[in-house]
């Protein structure tokens, strides 16, 4: 999911140098691109997009220390960090792993929203909602319970692909997503009784205890480092017998990592511990792949947890 965010410096000449630098970068002339970006930054020292792009180029050139300097400058020029420079610092080991900047997620998905489904379903072979659907049905069948849910909450609902997969199984869907652009697309589906622009943990915190039979998060907690708050809140909001189903990207090691694509990957042991710490029972945890990246299946887990 390539992001080409650009925020004008307010200086026409600096902006032009940035555009030339981007052309050079795309043509593979990284050294010349870095030179032009440095010139743009001399004209506009708070030029976030130039600092960020310079950081990427320095990193590609193997100049780790210089890349760190540039990413730090991008963070200080834009404290909201819409480019996600702090994530690049995490990847470089310059700062400890921490939460994703909300403004980064919003900017990323707002610009992505109109072409999200075509890119995911076409280019990346996205199958997260279908895998969740199959897993939830299997868990309900094994428990001899009907796979019908009166009230469901779709965390990180995006354009509504998970609600579409579960549409015949759910009476009343609420969608929560950080990105207004994605929520707009979800609204157009007519699948949701309610939609909220909010962080998923905050959105759950605003709900009373025991109000949902099903909570879904399809390909969404890959943007959440610490699963404890979201799984804990989901456990509170579920009714007894309720179901939490989500996908994560995973890896063979321990704990949580930030991958090259700037998404978190959670180990199976970490997922199990998060579910159990919230008082839920892990009913299903299956290795699968929710989508491809560069034509290679991304290693993922499909997780279903039940309450009581
Ligand atoms: C890859 S999309 C998946 C969308 C949808 N669930 C699907 O299966 O197509 C991830 C979505 O999660 C949302 N998101 C990421 N972090 C979030 C958070 N902390 N709270 C709410 N939404 C979040 C993004 O805005 C984006 O729409």
**Higher pLDDT pick, 308 / 297:** 297
Count CA within 13 A, CB hemisphere, residue 52.
Answer: 25
Provide the whole-model pTM: 0.95
Q: Is the CB of 245 under 6 A from ligand 1?
A: no
- Does the pLDDT value for residue 89 go beyond 60? yes
- pLDDT for 234: 98
- Does the pLDDT value for residue 246 go beyond 70? yes
DSSP secondary structure, 142-192, as one string: HTT--S-EEEEEEET-TTSHHHHHTGGGEEEEEEEES-HHHHHHHHHHT--
Distances in Å between the Cα of 202 and the Cα atoms of 206, 207, 213, 249, 256 are 6, 9, 19, 23, 22
* Per-residue pLDDT tens over the stretch 42-69: 999 999 999 999 999 999 999 999 999 9
Nearest alpha carbon, ligand 1 atom 1: 219
Average pLDDT on 243-248 reads 98
Nearest alpha carbon, ligand 1 atom 14: 156
CB burial class (10 A; 0-12, 13-18, 19+) of residue 292? middle
* Per-residue pLDDT tens over the stretch 250-289: 999 999 999 999 999 999 999 999 999 999 999 999 999 9
Q: Which secondary structure element, helix H or strand E, spans residue 239, and what is its range?
A: strand 238-249
Buried b (16+ CB within 10 A) or exposed e, 77-98: bbeebbbbbbbbbbbeebbeee
Q: Is the CB of 162 under 6 A from ligand 1?
A: yes
Average pLDDT on 116-144 reads 94
- Does the pLDDT value for residue 1 go beyond 80? no
State both tokens at 145: 């319970």
State both tokens at 62: 């193997």
Q: Which phi and psi angles does 138 have, rounded to 5°?
A: -65, -40
Of the chain, the percentage scoring pLDDT greater than 90 comes to 94
20 C-alpha to ligand 1 centroid (Å): 33
* pLDDT band per the 50, 70, 90 thresholds, residue 215: very high
* Mean of the per-residue pLDDT values of the chain: 96
**Which residues have a Cβ under 8 Å from the Cβ of 101 and sit 6 or more positions away?**
80, 81, 82, 84, 86, 87
State both tokens at 105: 């997620």
State both tokens at 195: 């939609």
Q: Is the CB of 90 under 6 A from ligand 1?
A: no
- pLDDT for 3: 53
* pLDDT band per the 50, 70, 90 thresholds, residue 294: confident
d(CA 255, CA 37): 37
Angle at CA of residue 299, ends 202 and 86, nearest 5°: 50
* Per-residue pLDDT tens over the stretch 199-212: 999 999 999 999 99
**Which residues have a Cβ under 8 Å from the Cβ of 296 and sit 6 or more positions away?**
none
- Does the pLDDT value for residue 2 go beyond 60? no
Q: Which of 203, 198, 280 is nearest to 239 (CA)?
A: 280
184 C-alpha to ligand 1 centroid (Å): 13
* Per-residue pLDDT tens over the stretch 150-193: 999 999 999 999 999 999 999 999 999 999 999 999 999 999 99
Other beta carbons within 10 angstroms of residue 4's beta carbon come to 8
- pLDDT for 213: 98
């Amino acid at each position: 999911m390539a992001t080409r965010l650009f925020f004008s410096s307010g200086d026409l000449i600096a902006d032009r140098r940035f555009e030339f630098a981007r052309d050079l970068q795309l043509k593979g002339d990284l050294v010349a691109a870095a030179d032009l970006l440095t010139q743009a930054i001399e004209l506009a020292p708070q030029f976030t997009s130039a600092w960020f792009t310079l950081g990427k180029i320095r990193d590609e050139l193997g100049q780790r220390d210089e890349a760190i300097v540039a990413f730090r400058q991008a963070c200080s020029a834009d404290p909201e960090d819409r480019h996600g420079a702090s994530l690049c610092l995490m990847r470089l080991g310059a700062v400890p792993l921490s939460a994703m900047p909300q403004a980064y997620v919003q900017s990323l998905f707002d610009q992505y929203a109109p072409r999200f489904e075509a890119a995911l379903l076409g280019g990346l072979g996205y199958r997260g909602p279908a895998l969740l659907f199959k897993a939830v049905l299997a868990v309900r069948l094994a428990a001899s319970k009907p796979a019908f849910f009166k009230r469901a909450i779709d965390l990180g609902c995006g354009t509504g692909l998970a609600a579409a997969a579960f549409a015949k199984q759910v009476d009343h869907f609420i969608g929560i997503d950080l990105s207004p652009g994605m929520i707009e697309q979800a609204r157009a589906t007519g699948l949701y009784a309610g939609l909220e622009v909010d962080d998923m943990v905050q959105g759950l915190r605003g709900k009373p205890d025991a109000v949902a039979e099903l909570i879904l998060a399809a390909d969404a907690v890959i943007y959440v480092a610490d699963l404890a708050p979201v799984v804990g809140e989901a456990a509170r909001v579920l009714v007894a017998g309720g179901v939490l189903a989500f996908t994560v990207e995973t890896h063979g090691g321990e704990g949580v990592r930030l991958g090259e694509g700037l998404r978190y990957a959670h180990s199976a042991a970490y997922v199990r511990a998060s579910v159990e710490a919230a008082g839920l029972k892990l009913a299903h945890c299956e290795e699968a792949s929710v989508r491809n990246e560069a034509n290679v299946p991304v290693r993922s887990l499909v997780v279903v947890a039940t309450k009581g």
